[in-house]
Structure 1
Amino acid sequence: MAKQTATLLEQYCERLNPMLEWLAQHGADAQGGVTRLLYTPEWVDAQQALSAYMKEHGLDAFYDQVGNLTGRLEGTQPELPTVATGSHIDTVIMGGKYDGAYGVVAGVLALSYLREAYGQPKRTLEVLSLAEEEGSRFPLTYWGSGNIAGKYDVNELPNVHDRDGVSLSQAIREAGFGAESPYALAQREHGSYIELHIEQGCVLERSQQQIGVVTGIVGQRRIEVRVTGESNHAGTTPMGWRSDSLACAAEMITIVRRTALEVGDPLVATVGNIQPFPGVSNVIAGETMFTLDIRHLDSVVLDEYTEQLRTQLVNIAARDGMTLFWQENLRAEPVLMNSDMIDELQHICEQDGITSRQMPSGAGHDAQIFGNVCPSAMIFVPSRDGISHNPLEYTTPDDLIQGFRVLTQWLYQTAY
């Protein structure tokens, strides 16, 4: 029996990469990547294809009002809390084949394998293909998981539009979902949630580890900084008499990098956008805007660093006779993963001789939404060269299979 089960698992491992390639055909773009935006025909077709696959492999497949797709394997003790896995299949524009999709495909195959190998679990198992994690079409992230967790309400749609002016209200209706659709509400409770994902960074590859057990998802502060000086003629204004906002901002940006390095990992601070005004080669910039993206796993460290940085930048502006405008546009708190689930995943890796490390996630994931309402965990597999959100995104079949094995073993131990 054990030999037959092992052989069956190998067969499911061999299906993993072909199924990812199959899913990538839904939304395949001319650049070799995948563009599958929320509620577009490409996204809807992919969800429908997954639904059909779930049904063919013995899972009960159904949608909710926002378009989250669930594949359910009913347990013999339905009163026990449900165990959920999954991720998202929406992508960035010209994204890769693995971000999000890997967790969904692995979840579908894991539940299909467990049903075929062991029959009904004690605890109900679900695999979720969630609606919108990336925020690529609308300025709205974690729409699917947020509705499940009660962060959003489909009856109170945000007034947001895509780049073509299409509203979320119009898009959800045209895709066949929404409060007036025949589907059930998204909001419901789960006993636990586990998400398998590519790392989207280079830590596992460079440290030659097969699995990352995520300890938490970092908090974020996104800030817009404006330095105001005075526009003037580039040829007639002596250097010592200038109020050059761009030169002042440049000094500030070097301080961002230096101070972040001084604090050390896992703090990261990024200036991703700089805009001098008027932005003309022969005019001194009277105002310069730049963005800050600051992340850390500890909210205390995050806030202390951010406030100390603000003080330094204000002092530099005052020294040069300029004004500084500071506006926080996003505040997301860190979310720690469940310590018991972390220990269980670590134990599975040790038992199976799989090299692993505990690590934070520097990117946001649906697990951070579930982590606020139920015990949650994440498993990372390596990303080649750390590349993601790009057609060159790649993880080797062996690494994909290793993550699938760890996920499947954890689901078996937890639900059976």
Structure 2
Amino acid sequence: MNESGVYRSSGTNNAPLPLPNVEQVELQAMLDWLSTYGADAQGGVTRLLYDSAWCEAQGALAAKMQEKGLSPEFDQSGNLYGTLKGEGEGEESATGVEELPVVTGSHMDTVVYGGKYDGAYGVVAGVLALEYLQKHFGAPKRTLQVVSLCEEEGSRFPFAYWGSRSITGMTALEAVEHLKDQDGVTFAQAIRDAGFGPDSAYRPAAKNYGAFIELHIEQGQVLERLGHSIGVVSDIVGQKRFSITVSGEANHAGTTPMSWRKDALAGAAEMITAVRNIALEAGEPLVATVGRITADPGVGNVVAARAVFSLDIRHIRQESIDRCWQDMLQAFSRIAAEQQLGLDWEEHLSVTPIPMNAEMISDIQDTCEQEQLSYWLMPSGAGHDSQIFQPACPTAMIFVPSQDGISHNPLEYTAEADLMHGFRVLVRLLYKYGYGS
């Protein structure tokens, strides 16, 4: 074992594995089963943190883990673990370092009217992978776990990654217990009503991992368009999000000459065009998005006095995000001055880019070659729990294709053959880290 906590290649790690075919694993059936918890009238799945559908799903999954030969356990945050105990659990390695568990999994919660694959695929695949390994190889040398993280999406409360943040110790309950959902229910009340929290019988959430592997649908079109079976995630992008406010002067649409206007909406439109042009000039993988704009007073025959638009900038390098924002701000300021408009901005989110573990990336690539699967080294343009775990332990992400790139939608779909490709890569990695010498 190296100092990063994951096993490197050795004789047994590359031994042939009797891996299953698609018809031999209940991946799709178990995903369909899990999607019945929170099934909504729109044909999708809605499981929000600590609501009844979420509670039922986590409870049913705990029973399923038990059925599959794993030891289920909740923590105080509501994260659910299924453990395949290693022969040397609690013992020190030859280097004097305790053998911490290697963990796979993803999140249980969904967006409102979401799909059945986002998050759930990584959880289901982890459960079935550990069942398969135990059935064919017995107890591992090193403890393996699957975790169904309680929350990632931020769909109920204005806070995301609660599951992974609580495990890594990044965020304590005290920091979020005051938050309220749209019905006015506080986070503290919701966690108590679900049977969790510091007053429950469960152990604290904070825990150390030896490594974390997240198997996930891509939620984009890259793999499908390029014809690759597996995405090997190199980095998870950083993000900056802003609200930009442009102030002008309301006036009559028919009696105010064009050259005399202080039209906030026209100024905002020119700024939005600048966003696109600056992002195109910066080149991939930088992306910048204006997804929302409002105008005041919002009347068809009145020059707008005020316009507010959102701005989302993402890249795998922080310096590129910062440079792009400064270029855009300079352009906004120039446009505002030329059109005699006011300009204000507020930053709502700043997330640093996170590179995945280099050794684990290499292991995934080796595994894809063993499985004769075409792979693509790519960044993740969406945020994931892996970006929370990577600073705490070696972490890797594996993507499988999403049909038409659709996600957070009832139409979200990944073909069963693609699901199986990801599953086989996961099994090989867990065998390498759990059973290797």
TM-score (normalised: structure 2): 0.93
Match of 2:131 among 105, 109, 112: 112
Number of the residue aligned with 2:73: 62
Q: How does 1:306-325 map to 2 (within 5 A)?
A: 306-325=325-344
Once the 2 structures are TM-superposed, how far is the Cα of residue 162 of structure 1 from its aligned partner?
0.9
Q: Is the 8 A contact 1:215 1:359 kept in 2?
A: yes
The CA deviation string for residues 207-242 of structure 1, in whole angstroms up to 9 with x for no partner, is: 000000000100000001001111111121111100
Q: Does 1:36 align with 2:55?
A: no
Number of the residue aligned with 1:6: 18
Q: Quick one: structure 1 residues 13 and 140, their matched pair in 2 at CA, closer, same or farther if it must change by over 3 Å?
A: farther
Q: Secondary structure at 1:104's aligned position in 2? A: helix
Q: Is the 8 A contact 2:177 2:186 kept in 1?
A: no
Q: Secondary structure at 2:192's aligned position in 1? A: helix
Number of the residue aligned with 1:305: 324
Q: Quick one: structure 1 residues 328 and 11, their matched pair in 2 at CA, closer, same or farther if it must change by over 3 Å?
A: closer
The CA deviation string for residues 49-106 of structure 1, in whole angstroms up to 9 with x for no partner, is: 1100111111110000010000011111223121010001100000000000000000
Once the 2 structures are TM-superposed, how far is the Cα of residue 411 of structure 1 from its aligned partner?
0.5
Following the alignment from structure 1 to structure 2, what is the Cα–Cα distance between the partners of residues 27 and 224?
A: 33
Q: Secondary structure at 1:185's aligned position in 2? A: coil
Structure 1: which 5+ residue stretches go unaligned? none
Once the 2 structures are TM-superposed, how far is the Cα of residue 154 of structure 1 from its aligned partner?
2.4
The CA deviation string for residues 170-214 of structure 1, in whole angstroms up to 9 with x for no partner, is: 111110001111101000100110000000000000000000000
Number of the residue aligned with 2:82: 71
Q: Does 1:26 align with 2:37?
A: yes
Q: Is the 8 A contact 1:276 1:288 kept in 2?
A: yes
- Give identity over the alignment, percent: 56
Following the alignment from structure 1 to structure 2, what is the Cα–Cα distance between the partners of residues 85 and 201?
A: 22
Following the alignment from structure 1 to structure 2, what is the Cα–Cα distance between the partners of residues 51 and 307?
A: 49
Number of the residue aligned with 2:422: 403
Following the alignment from structure 1 to structure 2, what is the Cα–Cα distance between the partners of residues 323 and 149?
A: 43
Q: Secondary structure at 1:116's aligned position in 2? A: helix
Q: Does 1:50 align with 2:69?
A: no
Q: Is the 8 A contact 1:12 1:113 kept in 2?
A: no
Q: Quick one: structure 1 residues 194 and 233, their matched pair in 2 at CA, closer, same or farther if it must change by over 3 Å?
A: same
Q: Quick one: structure 1 residues 95 and 18, their matched pair in 2 at CA, closer, same or farther if it must change by over 3 Å?
A: same
Number of the residue aligned with 1:186: 205
Following the alignment from structure 2 to structure 1, what is the Cα–Cα distance between the partners of residues 25 and 206?
A: 35
Q: Is the 8 A contact 1:13 1:401 kept in 2?
A: no
Q: Secondary structure at 2:26's aligned position in 1? A: helix
Q: Does 1:206 align with 2:218?
A: no
- Single out whichever of 189-198 and 308-317 deviates more from structure 2: 308-317
Match of 1:354 among 373, 390, 393: 373
Once the 2 structures are TM-superposed, how far is the Cα of residue 319 of structure 1 from its aligned partner?
1.3
Q: Secondary structure at 1:292's aligned position in 2? A: strand
Q: Secondary structure at 1:140's aligned position in 2? A: coil
The CA deviation string for residues 20-50 of structure 1, in whole angstroms up to 9 with x for no partner, is: 0000000011111101111011001100111
Following the alignment from structure 1 to structure 2, what is the Cα–Cα distance between the partners of residues 107 and 13?
A: 16
Letter in 2 for 1:20: L
Q: Secondary structure at 2:245's aligned position in 1? A: strand
Match of 2:261 among 242, 255, 259: 242
Following the alignment from structure 1 to structure 2, what is the Cα–Cα distance between the partners of residues 13 and 320?
A: 66
> RMSD of the TM alignment (CA)?
1.5
Q: Quick one: structure 1 residues 321 and 198, their matched pair in 2 at CA, closer, same or farther if it must change by over 3 Å?
A: same
Letter in 1 for 2:264: S
Q: Is the 8 A contact 1:92 1:389 kept in 2?
A: yes
Following the alignment from structure 1 to structure 2, what is the Cα–Cα distance between the partners of residues 388 and 55?
A: 30
Following the alignment from structure 1 to structure 2, what is the Cα–Cα distance between the partners of residues 413 and 361?
A: 25
Number of the residue aligned with 1:263: 282
Q: Secondary structure at 1:6's aligned position in 2? A: coil
Once the 2 structures are TM-superposed, how far is the Cα of residue 266 of structure 1 from its aligned partner?
0.7
Q: Is the 8 A contact 2:401 2:418 kept in 1?
A: yes
Number of the residue aligned with 2:409: 390
Following the alignment from structure 1 to structure 2, what is the Cα–Cα distance between the partners of residues 280 and 41?
A: 43
Following the alignment from structure 2 to structure 1, what is the Cα–Cα distance between the partners of residues 388 and 120?
A: 18
Q: Is the 8 A contact 2:278 2:327 kept in 1?
A: no
Aligned residues: 414
Once the 2 structures are TM-superposed, how far is the Cα of residue 360 of structure 1 from its aligned partner?
0.2
Following the alignment from structure 1 to structure 2, what is the Cα–Cα distance between the partners of residues 264 and 11?
A: 39
Once the 2 structures are TM-superposed, how far is the Cα of residue 152 of structure 1 from its aligned partner?
1.1
The CA deviation string for residues 283-311 of structure 1, in whole angstroms up to 9 with x for no partner, is: 11111000000000011111111111111
Q: Secondary structure at 1:84's aligned position in 2? A: strand
Once the 2 structures are TM-superposed, how far is the Cα of residue 399 of structure 1 from its aligned partner?
0.1
Q: Is the 8 A contact 2:223 2:400 kept in 1?
A: yes
Following the alignment from structure 2 to structure 1, what is the Cα–Cα distance between the partners of residues 63 and 21?
A: 23
Once the 2 structures are TM-superposed, how far is the Cα of residue 149 of structure 1 from its aligned partner?
0.8
Q: Secondary structure at 1:165's aligned position in 2? A: coil
TM-score (normalised: structure 1): 0.97
Q: Secondary structure at 1:230's aligned position in 2? A: coil
Q: Does 1:339 align with 2:351?
A: no
